[in-house]
Structure 1
Amino acid sequence: MKRSVIETALGGLVILVALSFLAFSVNTAQVGKVSGYELNARFSGIGGLAVGDDVLISGVKVGSIVAVTLDPETFLANVRMSIENHVKLPADTAALISSESLLGGRYLALEPGAEEDVLKPGSMIEYTQAPQNLEQLLGQFIFSMQGDKDKQPSAGESAADAHP
């Protein structure tokens, strides 16, 4: 009988801890959400940018990605973001998709312009830049290094012989 009471109490404690963890997780998830106005941007590629990723200005989070869709007519990626209400962006703001690190996730970097007019809710950011493809950059670097080797004089040639 005593063993049964201990097992029941322990089971209740485990359930209580699990429910507490669940409540904490739900509250933490709500903290990261940004309520504000929405803006849109079109990109030729998004390179892994996903819903929930951060929108940053000078490294400071000012919003998050709300939706990523494909325009069936232009085949461009439409990115919808939510920006904090107190952040007023000039109409010539640029949007760039960047990486946190070589192995890290993506984020959308906004670079405010100098125009006096501000973007209104639902506006399209006109100036965008898709992310750089790391494999493509490495390939260009390797081939450029190979090209430099081909131009260097061999061990038997002098520098004067190599360049007519």
Structure 2
Amino acid sequence: MGGNLVESMIGAVVLAVAGAFLYIAYTTTNVGSASGYELQARFDRVGGLSLGADVRISGIKIGTVTGQRLDPQSYQAVVRFTVDKSLEISTDSFAKITSDGLLGDTYVELQPGGLDEYLSDGEEVYDTQGPIDLFGLISKAVYSGDPASSSEE
């Protein structure tokens, strides 16, 4: 009977430590907060962009991707994201999907424009660029020098 008590106490300690870890992870990563105003942008493709991905300006997180859907008329991906309410994003800003290196996380990078007109809640960033297809570029480079296509006489 004493062994069961010890095992139960160890289990309770493990659960308490796991709960503390989850609480710390939740509060430090801002998972639950999507405060700010919502914008959207259209892309030809989104690559590995996922819900909860960062929205950054100059490498600093200023928002979070909150939704993705396919526009049935244009077949473009419509990405919704929040932006910190203390920031004003001008109407001529540029949005692109990029990553932290070859194997890094995919995120939306905003490059602010210079106009004095600003986007408000629900508006769209029109100037966009999808992710670069690195494997497609490598494939083109490798197969562009195909010896079978050149003629030697």
TM-score normalized with structure 2 length: 0.83
Consecutive unaligned residues in structure 2, runs of 5 or more: none
2:88 is matched with 88
Q: Which moved more, 1:80-89 or 1:19-28?
A: 19-28
Rate the CA distance shift 1:35–1:143 in 2: closer, same or farther, 3 A. same
Q: Which runs of 5+ in 1 are unaligned?
A: 155-164
Structure 2 match to 1:108: 108
1:78 match: secondary structure: strand
User: Are 1:126 and 2:104 counterparts?
Assistant: no
Deviation at 1:18, TM superposition (A): 3.2
Q: Which has the larger radius of gyration?
A: 1
Q: CA deviation at 1:47?
A: 1.0
State how 1:125-164 maps to structure 2 within 5 Å.
125-144=125-144, 146=145
> TM-score of the superposition, structure 1-length normalised?
0.78
4+ runs of 1 displaced by more than 4 Å? 1-5
User: In the alignment, residue 68 of structure 2 is paired with which amino acid?
Assistant: V
Shift of 1:128: 0.7
What CA deviation, in whole Å up to 9, does each residue of 1:77-119 have, x standing for no partner?
Answer: 0000100011101110011111211112211111111111011
- Aligned CA-pair RMSD: 2.4
Given the superposition, is the C-alpha separation of residues 83 and 24 from structure 1 closer, same or farther in structure 2, using an over 3 Å criterion? Answer: same
- 1:61 is aligned to 61
Contact 2:56 2:63 in 1 (8 A): yes
Deviation at 1:17, TM superposition (A): 2.5
Identical positions, percent: 37
Residue range with higher mean Cα deviation, 63-72 or 22-31: 22-31
Mapped partners of 2:82, 2:115: distance in 1: 21
Name the SS of the counterpart of 2:27 in structure 1: helix
How many matched pairs? 149
Q: Is the 8 A contact 2:56 2:109 kept in 1?
A: yes
